[in-house]
Amino acid sequence: MLSHIVLFWLKPELTETEVQAFREGLEALKTIPTTRGVYIGTPAPTAPRPVIDTSYSIGITVLFDSIADHDAYQVHPAHQGFLKRFGNCWSKVLIYDFM
């Protein structure tokens, strides 16, 4: 199984409506057939510790059965459409992929 974790730092000038549309855009990625599971959320209110980074705005974890499924997700029209529509909404993005 491959875990694909993406953390977004949204631009502070986004309106609440724009942030909601961004989240809905992430939710739409659940329709891509090669995903095994998709989880979306904001930083959890866990106790602060030096090793925890809560500076991001929203994150998504997508699980895949294989790298081939991940690769198919990357070029899927829904994913490409998300990038085109929302790519200007973040100031920073970090991706962690692991198996």
Please report whether residue 88 resides in a domain: yes
Residue-range definition of the domain harbouring residue 29? 15-42+71-98
**Is residue 82 in some structural domain?**
yes
How many domains does the chain contain in total?
1
Flag whether 63 is in a domain.
no
> 62 lies in a domain?
no
* Strands, sheet with 2-10, edge to edge from the N-terminal-most edge strand: 37-41, 58-64, 2-10, 90-98
Judge whether 5 lies within some domain: no
Q: Looking at the domain assignment, is residue 59 inside a domain?
A: no
In a domain, 7, yes or no: no
Q: What does the alpha-carbon distance between residue 57 and residue 20 come to, in Å, rounded to a whole number?
A: 12
pTM over 0.75: yes
Gap between the Cα atoms of 94 and 43, Å rounded? 14
The series of mean pLDDT values per 10 residues for the chain, 99 residues long, is 98 98 98 98 96 97 98 98 98 98
**H/E element holding 71?**
helix 67-75
